[in-house]
Structure 1
Amino acid sequence: MKSIKSIILAGGSGTRLWPLSREMYPKQFLKFGERSLFQNTVLRCLEISKIEEIFVVTNEAQKFFVMGQIKEIGHEIPPENILIEPEGRNTLPAILFGMKEIERKFGKSTVGVFSSDHVLDKAAMQTISSAEELVSASLVTFGVVPTFPNTGYGYVKPAEPLGPGYRVSGFREKPDEETAKKYIEEGCLWNSGMFLFDTDLFFEEVRTHAPGVLACFEQFENIAGIYENVEKISVDYGIMEKSDRVAVVRLDHQWSDLGNFSAIYDEFEKDRDENVVHGCDPFLLNSTGNLVHSKSGKIVSLIDVNDLVVVDTPDALLVCPKESSQKVKEIVTELKNRDDERAYIGQKVYRPWGSYSLLENSPGHKIKNIAVLPEHKLSLQMHYHRSEHWVVVKGMACVEVNGDKFFLRPGESTFIRAGEKHRLSNPGKLPLEIIEVQLGELVDEGDIVRFDDVYGRE
């Protein structure tokens, strides 16, 4: 079964599930159970591909989430298989980027394309694999059998049978509810955004229907030059809706793109009052059909309310009707217009060396709890506008200041003045935890000058 190469698209912006997800921590890396959506996607791809045949298209900010979460499930992806887009240009350039790399490394191939943030039964991979017989003559997409008239998905209309699938007679945009009912009566399927392509046929159809996009990949030698010039265009609009060589294969399996909180409510287990509760001790009196998510340690109480979304994080609270949850992205847009960092990061921020949690913040000071993974280190850096006081809570810290190295044990501390080159590392086998107090005129992430970084960050 493992003859298919896989591309995982993992460059989400984190806007639709704010405040759970942020631009620096999009929904594919969220864990609603033991594993994240991205990790489950990788495990599904391993049903049809070897780990060295899986390629992940992402961005610089999320590269280390990709590497870390794959390691967490016991696998090591080749670094060259993590493809970094300089900026998001929609799905056609992202897929073309992956297809070019697969052809360069493996030659002519059959390639599955998957979003990193979908819920899908692993059993569906058998159906996806069986569609391989179609790819020499057709671009293959997968249509999910609808369970209700969803207005958040596009639709695919199948025509006459074609091997294990059907010829596609047309694509439909996201409809209103009445139109969605009509589409289902016509036998239309939800457009899943998953594909199976033969590299030769894919490049041929891109050259026919989106020649400018392919020309950018052939004209410019480096990815920065390509992305400066390539059109921002989806694979559906670029080739799938224009080609007359498209087939759809039915997926009668559990599937969701978890596009908003209403979709999360639909997907997860409910209590006897049809409430979905994550991470908190709730008191819900005469309240039904609600989604409640909180990890703040608070008691969450709802009285006489129905069909609400309540999401409580340390730095943001969201309350809205489930039916309005798709409007969350408007809040994120406004936060970005205000240059509010809460659109980009939460109280807990993940880095390739570990993570930090913001405990307290003001214009002149910031307090963090910093966790450094075993045998990892921060960059050698300097700050112009702030000093830092470090206190070790757990583990052994190796501290470098202006070229001098020393060790700190639990309860010991050091003070680093503004302008001093410094680095924190964890040489041990156990996690390192410190409390960092920043003091100065400027205490934001912009006041970092890096001199050396083992993770290749600028």
Structure 2
Amino acid sequence: MSTLIPCIIAGGAGTRLWPVSREAMPKPFMRLPDGESLLQKTFRRATGLRDVGQLLTVTNREVFFRTLDDYRQLNKGGVELDFILEPFGRNTAPAIAAAALHVAQRYGEDAQLLVLPADHLIKDIEAFAKAVDNARQLADEGWLVTFGIVPTKAETGFGYIEKGPALSSEAYEVARFVEKPDAATAQQYLDGGLHLWNGGMFCMRVDSVLREFKAYAPDVLAAVSHCLEHSQVFQGKQEIHLELDSTTFALAPDISIDYALMERSKKVAVVPCNLGWSDIGSWEAVRELSPADANGNQCNGENVLHDVHNCYIDSPKRLVGGVGLNDLIIIDTPDALLIADAKRSQDVKYIAQTLKRQGHDAYRLHRTVTRPWGTYTVLEEGRRFKIKRIVVKPQGTLSLQMHHHRSEHWIVVSGMARVTNGDDEFLLDTNESTFIKPGKTHRLVNPGVVDLVMIEVQSGEYLGEDDIVRFTDIYGRVPVDASKN
């Protein structure tokens, strides 16, 4: 059988799971009750399949280092990590076209591409592996194979796949793809037994999918091929990543793989499966992962409740008191609080969309922001000042940089810092500090083997994160990056 290359597609902002899921820390990085992220669970699922030695991931370049962090915690077997980094999202058809062209060049056109969304949950790993084996056999016969989830309820939030003639006892031709139905139609689908939930997973040989792109979406294939010709490949210590050129990638049509290929191709098959699958698409789906107490409540964090029933309360860092509540979802984060009717959890996306239109930081960032060298947390800010807690990983290095409008005072809380301040370079130990004037080049390095924790006090007329001139950076970030450090 052909070489199998799992391809994790990590895109989208997960707006229905705001305020935990945000553009710069989207849904795949959400921690589930067992402590693992959805991305990590997808990694385990993909690399646990037979004969997998390489893993391809298509994701936004802004979350590349966070993705590496999640993978490295699990990659004890030394699976080769291969990345395609998008400058921005253009939907799944360009992402899969880029993956197919990249795999064809690196592994050959007879390789099989197993496309997996990064933010879905599958509980039955054995059933998943069996479904993949069935799909691989069909893929080697030239079929584009999708995985149809056997429905357990009349769900109006998913697209459906209608089964056609049987290809085997385990698979069918696809008669058609169906958009999200109304409640009555969804019930007919459930009762009729011909329809499956569209799980957005695919298995296909590279030569087959490229053939179908040429036939049904040549504009997508041409645009992505042109983009790859202008893109650069970088070799890291444990991974390879292809960084897509932003100018040419912007020319690719913004279209899903379903619209571009699957609804048009005559060679699409479906493998029905019971996987314990969930797309974790709303807070109602998240709450189903935790057992309820005697009052039907599911709570994470300290709380005092009186006459509260059927509520989901997630507040890991702050005490919640509740009186006389019923059927509510309450999600508390350091900078945003969500209170929603549990029956309308799908509508949380309207909050996120409004914040995006307003240009509000709560759409894009958490108070704690991940960077390749570690994290920073805004503790407090006001007119002319901002206070941050900075954590630098062992051997982490901030860029050599300069600010026009602000000064910075660094105080080491724990660990050791190597500091460049103008022409001087020196070590700072715990409880020591340094002051950096506006216009002075500076750099912060953690030379130790434990985290470096610092407090940074910024002062000046303008404290925006775009007041940065970056000179050198070991992580390959562009000098005009408008993010902190």
Q: TM over 0.5: same fold?
A: yes
Distance 2:173 2:44 in 1: 30
The equivalent residue for 2:116 is: 114
What's the CA shift for 1:2? 9.8
What's the CA shift for 1:276? 1.9
Cα deviations by residue, 1:356-412 (Å, 9 ceiling, x for unpaired)? 111101131111111000111111111111111111111011111113211111111
Query: Secondary structure at 1:208's aligned position in 2?
Result: helix
Query: Secondary structure at 2:156's aligned position in 1?
Result: coil
Q: Tell me which of 153, 158, 162 is aligned to 1:157.
A: 162
**Contact 1:375/1:429, CA 8 A, preserved across alignment:** yes
Query: Secondary structure at 1:180's aligned position in 2?
Result: helix
1:321 aligns with 2:321: no
Query: Secondary structure at 1:229's aligned position in 2?
Result: coil
Q: Tell me which of 292, 301, 322 is aligned to 1:302.
A: 322
Give the TM-score taking structure 1 as reference length.
0.95
Provide the alpha-carbon RMSD of the alignment.
Answer: 1.7
What's the CA shift for 1:86? 2.1
Cα deviations by residue, 1:20-50 (Å, 9 ceiling, x for unpaired)? 1111000101111321110110111002266
**Contact 2:393/2:451, CA 8 A, preserved across alignment:** yes
Give the TM-score taking structure 2 as reference length.
0.90
What's the CA shift for 1:267? 3.1
What's the CA shift for 1:281? 1.2
**Contact 1:12/1:28, CA 8 A, preserved across alignment:** no
Distance 1:139 1:42 in 2: 22
The equivalent residue for 2:222 is: 215
Distance 1:34 1:337 in 2: 32
Unaligned runs of 5+ in 1: none
Q: Residue 86 of structure 1 aligns to which amino acid in structure 2?
A: P
Distance 1:354 1:264 in 2: 28
Query: Secondary structure at 1:96's aligned position in 2?
Result: helix
**Contact 2:298/2:312, CA 8 A, preserved across alignment:** yes
1:454 aligns with 2:474: yes
Which is further off, 255-264 or 124-133?
A: 124-133
1:281 aligns with 2:286: no
1:380 aligns with 2:385: no
**Contact 1:2/1:49, CA 8 A, preserved across alignment:** no
Distance 2:283 2:164 in 1: 34
Query: Secondary structure at 2:331's aligned position in 1?
Result: strand
Q: Residue 203 of structure 2 aligns to which amino acid in structure 1?
A: L
Please give the residue correspondences for 1:165-314 in structure 2 after superposition, counting only pairs within 5 Å.
165-187=171-193, 188-220=195-227, 221-222=229-230, 223-224=244-245, 225-278=247-300, 280-296=301-317, 298-314=318-334
Percent identity, aligned pairs only, is 40
Distance 1:364 1:147 in 2: 56
Q: Residue 5 of structure 1 aligns to which amino acid in structure 2?
A: I
Which is further off, 8-17 or 394-403?
A: 8-17
**Contact 1:2/1:47, CA 8 A, preserved across alignment:** no
Query: Secondary structure at 1:16's aligned position in 2?
Result: helix
Please give the residue correspondences for 1:16-27 in structure 2 after superposition, counting only pairs within 5 Å.
16-27=16-27
Which is further off, 398-407 or 8-17?
A: 8-17
Distance 2:35 2:433 in 1: 36
What's the CA shift for 1:77? 6.1
Q: Report the CA distance shift for 1:2/1:168 in structure 2 as closer, same or farther (over 3 A).
A: closer
Query: Secondary structure at 2:106's aligned position in 1?
Result: helix
Distance 1:49 1:341 in 2: 43
